[in-house]
Amino acid sequence: MTQVRYETWTGGEGIPSERFCRDVLAVAKRTGAKRLCDIGAGANPLLDREEARAAGIEDYVLTDISAAELEKAPAGFEKVVADVTAGPRLDLGPFDLIVSHTVAEHVKDAERLHRSCQAMLAPGGSAMHFFPTFYEPVFLANRVIPEGLGESILGRLQDQREKEGDHGKFPALYRWCRGPTPKQLRRLEACGYEVESYVGVFGHGYFDKFKALARLEWHLADTLQRHPIPALTSYAWVQLRRPA
């Protein structure tokens, strides 16, 4: 039985990606994960190497399709240039835990991504993915308007700390990037997973600079948390398990 919960975020503290990191560390400790693969990590591993060790993770492998992005990553990680959507025969693993952070929205073939990750897991292992979800109006606009214009608009709305750092810009497709809808759960189960938990987040914080819009967003996010509509989440993260 999938555990579904809903949260809100409208800017400020408690960034959803930080909550996701806490959940990843909690799952690593609870399951005794020793070998972790960070999919599409590029220059920015999800976890600090020391906090990963403190959670019991001994081997931390970064993968990315871009060797140039991987070269920017800190020392202390194993780095593998690989396209994880190449199919379930990819010679990586087995891993106890696979994670991805804002990667799934850039993948052309979401089913192949999830099937490949499932094949890379040891029996009983977990995969955890964090992504923005498609029907949030800001991300919907980012998908349908021209790439250059979308980047410019999001850049004006983004907090400066998000724009800084070694973050490459890649087209967002949002395939299978949805909240915990029944259709989404069925898709993931069809890839051979047990869907253990699914967190949907309402609100996005992009309107912090515009007080009237920010208040409206807060009110909408609060209403949706009390009366959830899974298709209207802004972000989500999911924990999947390969059956033992």
Choice among 29-43, 70-84, 111-125, 126-140 with the minimum mean pLDDT: 126-140
* pLDDT tens figures, 18-55: 999 999 999 999 999 999 999 999 999 999 999 999 99
Edge-to-edge strand order for the sheet containing 35-39? 3-8, 194-202, 235-241, 121-132, 95-101, 35-39, 59-64, 78-81
Residues in the chain: 244
Output the average pLDDT for the chain: 87
Question: What's residue 154's pLDDT?
Answer: 54
The Cα–Cα gap between 198 and 227 comes to 17
The Cα–Cα gap between 17 and 131 comes to 9
* pLDDT tens figures, 158-216: 554 344 344 445 688 999 999 999 999 999 999 999 999 999 999 987 766 767 877 88
Choice among 49-53, 113-117, 147-151 with the minimum mean pLDDT: 147-151
Question: What's residue 219's pLDDT?
Answer: 85
**Helix, strand or coil, per DSSP, at residue 183:** helix
